[in-house]
Amino acid sequence: MKKTSVIGLFSAIALVPALAGAAEPIGEHPTYSREVSRIIQDNCQICHQDGQIGPMSFTSYEEVRPWAPLIRMKVLSREMPPYQYDADIGVQELKGDWRMSQEDIDTLVAWVDAGSPMGNPEHLPAAKQFPAVGEWRLEPELGPPDHIIKSTKWDVPGSGQDMWWEPDVPTGIAENRCIKAIETLPSQAAHGSTHHANSQFLVQNEEGEWVTFGRLSEYAYGKLGEMVPEGACRTAPANSQVRWSIHYYPDGNAVADDQVSVGIWYQDEDFDEDAAYEQDLRLYALQGGDYAIEPHGKLMTQGFHSFDHPVRIDSWQPHLHLRGVAMNIEIYDPSTGRREVISQASNWSAGWNHSHTYKDGSQPLIPAGATIIQTAWYDNTADNPFNPDPDQWVGAGQRTTDEMSHSWIAVTHLDEEGYEMMLEERAAAEAGGAP
């Protein structure tokens, strides 16, 4: 501290002549009003403002300043904004990517290191407008949803621990339809406490039991809806139910009879279902593998899945529990012997669930016979800050204190013709894009 202030003093003296008449030295260090306010607006305010899920509001210098040291720590460790996806390996072109640029992180850190100065208030940007709470964000583009399915009512208390609400609800879908877009919408009143809300389709098997058909929607706070890539059909099955998994995190406001909604936009009548490739969003588990993580121990597991036809991978969402610390997916192509990591989350946190959706044209294209390898790493030592009890043996199971190891992966199922065509399109785009 002493050293900094001495340097500060010298440079202040040195700058005095140059500064005569100037309001603020430009470029010496970042200020709140000039750079930091804009970075906070773009990356943090969606959650960090009154009534949203961030525990504190970041809408003014007075609100941000006391948190400066913690902000520095959280952005450097990339815990905030909460989006755990490695920047140095795998596909980097993602839709709805919350990661901050290295440049913005460096600017925030430099600002805190300079003593978090306000700067000249005249440089402050206008307050940023956020989408209205409780309205479909896809509506301006697509109109209102064709079909809305709501969770059954649940009383959210004003305070207390995390809670899960997992009702099954009939969909009323009479015949199979192709989905164009999906959005999950918490109620206006419980907007701040609905941390995430996932839904999946269930259908009845021959014995009449309800079994998983596929994922309908996945929602984490602050998210937009999901559009199914063009030319693909994600089926909404007839005679189905929706199983909700809603994670509430009380935020001070008690809400009686709360309901979360999922809106579905179907493909238009003239959509050629026969020409479309089927896309599904499914869980890829470790196949048959049970495992046990010993007290104070570490473990790595791997799951494998092969396709007998070519596929396009559209999104990936890792899922582990409290001992899980990292996961990735790789593609192994036995025809070439090549193995390639396509996505990795090496600072995984169970508090956040994200589906990493690859941008159109960047989705991995995989030949028939290739294998998806899912690798997960667990840390049951006291070094894992999320570990509730390092003295326990931990096995696979449903409870939060058990472990889980699977991914939700959206896959478009191709044939050889479609696969070759997509490869050619990519090659053409690459050739066209080259200088």
Q: Which residues bind ligand HEC (CB under 6 A)?
A: 43-44, 46-48, 53-55, 67, 70-71, 74-75, 80-82, 100, 221-222, 351
Q: How many CB atoms lie within 10 A of CB 49?
A: 17
Q: Tokens standing for 23?
A: 């309001």
**Cβ-based nearer residue to ligand HEC, 190 or 342:** 190
Nearer to ligand HEC, 35 or 280 (CB): 35
Structure token pair of residue 430: 């690459």
Residue among 95 and 298 whose Cβ is closer to ligand HEC? 95
Q: Which C-beta is closer to ligand HEC: that of 52 or that of 241?
A: 52
The number of residues in the chain equals 435
Q: How far apart are CA 91 and CA 344, in angstroms?
A: 9
Cβ-proximal residues to 80 (8 Å cutoff; 6+ apart), any chain: 44, 71, 74
Task: Count the neighbouring beta carbons within 10 Å of the beta carbon of residue 364.
Answer: 19
Q: Which is nearer to ligand HEC, 348 or 419 (CB)?
A: 348
Query: How far apart, in whole angstroms, are the C-alpha atoms of residue 9 and residue 3?
Result: 10
CA distance 160 to 156: 10
What is the closest distance, in whole angstroms, from the C-beta atom of residue 56 to ligand HEC in the complex?
7
Least spacing, CB of residue 222 vs ligand HEC, in Å: 4
Amino acid in position 399: R
Measured on CA atoms in the order 189, 194, 198, 202, is the torsion positive or negative?
negative
Residue 279 CB, nearest approach to ligand HEC (Å): 26
Interatomic CA distance for residues 54 and 42, integer angstroms: 15
Ramachandran category for residue 198: left, alpha or beta (phi over 0 → left; psi -120 to 50 → alpha): beta
- Smallest gap from Cβ 55 to ligand HEC, in A, equals 5
CB 80 → ligand HEC: shortest distance, Å? 3
Quote the least distance from Cβ 64 to ligand HEC, whole Å: 8
Measured from the CB atom, the residue of 107 and 235 that comes closer to ligand HEC is: 107
CA quadruple 386, 389, 395, 401: dihedral, nearest 10: -60
Q: How far is the CB of 384 from ligand HEC (least distance, A)?
A: 16
Least Cβ distance, residue 173 to ligand HEC (angstroms): 31
- Nearest to ligand HEC of 221, 277 (CB atom): 221
Whole-number minimum distance, CB 199 to ligand HEC, in Å?
A: 19
Please state the closest distance from residue 83 (CB atom) to ligand HEC, in A: 8
Q: Which is nearer to ligand HEC, 81 or 318 (CB)?
A: 81
Token reading at 376: 């997960």
What is d(CA 48, CA 40) in angstroms, rounded to the nearest whole number? 9
Nearer to ligand HEC, 38 or 296 (CB): 38
Between the CA of residue 311 and those of 217, 273, 419, what are the distances in Å?
A: 21, 18, 7
Closest CA to 303 of 283, 323, 321: 283
CA 283 – CA 316 distance, rounded (Å): 10
Tracing tokens 């290739």 back to the chain, one arrives at 370
Q: Which of 163, 168, 147 is nearest to 213 (CA)?
A: 168
Toward ligand HEC, which CB reaches closer, 82 or 418? 82
